[in-house]
Copies of this chain bind each other. A is one copy, B any other.
Amino acid sequence: MKKKAVPDAGPPTRERILSAAEHLFATHGYDATSLRDIAIKAETRIGLVSYHFQNKELLYETLIERRSAEIGRRRLGLLTRERKSFLPAAIPAERIIHAYTWPFLELSHSAGAEWKSYTKIISSVANSQRWTGLLSTYYDPVATVFLNELRRTFPTCSEAKLVAGFTFMVSVMLGIAAETGRADQLSNGAIRSTDIGRIFDMMLPFLSAGFERLGDADDGMAVGGRGLAPSSE
């Protein structure tokens, strides 16, 4: 049970602020969340937010940073395990995709409300213009390791295709974690977007097949290619 905000009971102020901010940012977005709201939810004062984090932007950056290491650690942990079981052969695409996407989606799904909020923040930040620099800073190092692994699995595949496939994978993963409920509506309830485990099970073969086809035909670019938009009207 959470005690009242008696100064020396429960988590320290700094932690309470981070938790409150995480939840509010995930729900309303960066700009629509005020330091006032955060202070109130954290049962403290605005001054304390400034004291601990200087300003709103640094608070946000702190938030994004603080869980990124755990995600990276789990990703690399799974990748290392796969490397060991397949060496000296290359790791199958599906296992690489699994190692990259599962930690993120598992934490989103079953590690509590705070991780859920965190992954929603990352999802909504990803397609924005404003914070992509932050994502690169904290997520690109591990992404680079995974790209190297994909390169071993698809040695004849062009760099462009490899990286494109990787970003497709990331988009799908983030779309799942966003849990917008769009699929629920489109499927009349055959899918619930909160059922991340089940969606993951469909995502995995979907992305694996995509990568494998990219890695295949390094000559012809499949049938058709781009068409023209209807010129009428």
Q: List A residues at the B interface (Cβ < 8 Å).
A: 26-32, 73-74, 77-78, 81, 94-95, 98, 102-103, 106-107, 120, 123-124, 126-130, 132, 135-136, 140, 143-144, 147, 158-168, 170-172, 174-176, 178, 180-183, 185-188, 190-191, 197-214, 217, 221-227, 229-230, 232-233
Contacts and interface: CB of A to CB of B under 8 A. Distances in A.
Contact of A171 (B144, B175, B186, B188): B175
A140 to B, nearest CB: 6
A192 to B, nearest CB: 10
Contacts of A32: 31, 130
Copies in the complex: 2
B206 A226 contact: no
25 contacts: A29-B128, A31-B32, A32-B130, A74-B230, A103-B229, A106-B226, A124-B129, A127-B178, A127-B180, A128-B178, A128-B180, A140-B185, A147-B186, A163-B190, A165-B202, A167-B175, A167-B182, A168-B203, A168-B206, A170-B175, A204-B224, A205-B213, A205-B222, A207-B210, A208-B213
Contacts of A205: 210, 213-214, 217, 221-222
Contacts of A74: 229-230
B163 A191 contact: yes
Which of A73, A200, A225 has the most B CB atoms < 10 Å from its CB?
A: A225
A126 B129 contact: no
B172 A160 contact: no
Given A128-B29, A168-B172, A81 B230 contact: yes
Contact of A129 (B171, B180, B206): B180
A89 B32 CA distance: 50
A96 B127 CA distance: 25
Contact of A226 (B102, B129, B182, B213): B102
Which of A98, A171, A230 has the most B CB atoms < 10 Å from its CB?
A: A171
